[in-house]
Amino acid sequence: MSSVSQKAKAASDSTDISENLWWKQAVVYQIYPRSFKDSTGSGLGDLKGITGKMGYLKALGVDAVWLSPFYPSELADGGYDVEDYRNVDPRLGTMDDFDAMVAAAHKAGIKIVVDIVPNHSSRLHQWFQEALKSEPGSPARNRYIFRDGKGPNGDEPPTKWIANFGGSAWTRVPDGQWYLHLFAKEQPDFNWDNREVRDDFLKTLKFWCDHGTDGFRVDVAEGLAKDLDRDDLDNYDVDAMHITIEDGSHPVYDRDEVHEIFREWRHEVFDKYTPARFAVAEAWVPASRQYLYARPDELGQVFNFKFAECNWLRDEMHEAIEDGIASAERTNGSTSTWVMGNHDVPRSASRYALPQIKTDNGLYHAVANDWLLRNGTTYHENRELGTKRARAAVMLEMALPGSAYVYQGEELGLFEVADIPWDELEDPWAFGTRRDLTKKGRDGCRVPLPWQSDGKDDSFGFSPAKQADGSNAEKPHLPQPAWFSDYAVDGEEANDDSMLSHYRRVLKLRHELQTPDTSLNWLDDYDHQTDAHDGADGNLGGSIAYRRANGWANITNFSATPMALPQGEVLLSSSPLTADGKLPQDTSVWMKL
Report DSSP letters for 47-111, one per residue. HHHHHHTHHHHHHHT-SEEEEPP-SS---TTTT-S-S-TTS--TTT--HHHHHHHHHHHHHTT-E
> Has 219 been annotated as catalytic?
yes
Nearest to 37 by CA among 459, 419, 463: 463
Which run of H or E residues covers position 28? strand 27-31
How far is residue 520's CA from residue 321's CA, in Å, rounded to a whole number?
A: 10
How far is residue 502's CA from residue 119's CA, in Å, rounded to a whole number?
A: 38
> Has 81 been annotated as catalytic?
no
How far is residue 95's CA from residue 100's CA, in Å, rounded to a whole number?
A: 9
Give the three-state DSSP class for 264: helix
**For residue 442, what are the CA distances in angstroms to 182, 430, 479?**
18, 9, 14
| 569: phi then psi, degrees, rounded to nearest 5 | -95, 125
How far is residue 113's CA from residue 213's CA, in Å, rounded to a whole number?
A: 6
The pairing of strands 27-31 and 403-407 is: parallel
CA angle at 287 for the pair 286 and 289, rounded to the nearest 5°: 75
Q: Helix count (H) and strand count (E) of the chain?
A: 15, 18
Which residue among 81, 222, 282, 397 is the active-site one?
Answer: 282
Total count of residues recorded for the chain: 593
The pairing of strands 587-592 and 569-573 is: antiparallel
DSSP 150: B
- Count of alpha carbons within 13 Å of 1, Cβ hemisphere only? 15
Give the three-state DSSP class for 403: strand
How far is residue 569's CA from residue 546's CA, in Å, rounded to a whole number?
A: 15
| 512: phi then psi, degrees, rounded to nearest 5 | -70, -35
Helices (H), 121-172: 126-133
| Peptide bond between residue 275 and the one before it cis (omega within 30 degrees of 0) | yes
| 544: phi then psi, degrees, rounded to nearest 5 | -115, 125
Taking a C-beta distance cutoff of 8 angstroms, is the pair 447, 479 a contact? yes
| Partner residues linked to 472 by β-bridges | 466
**What are the catalytic residues?**
219, 282
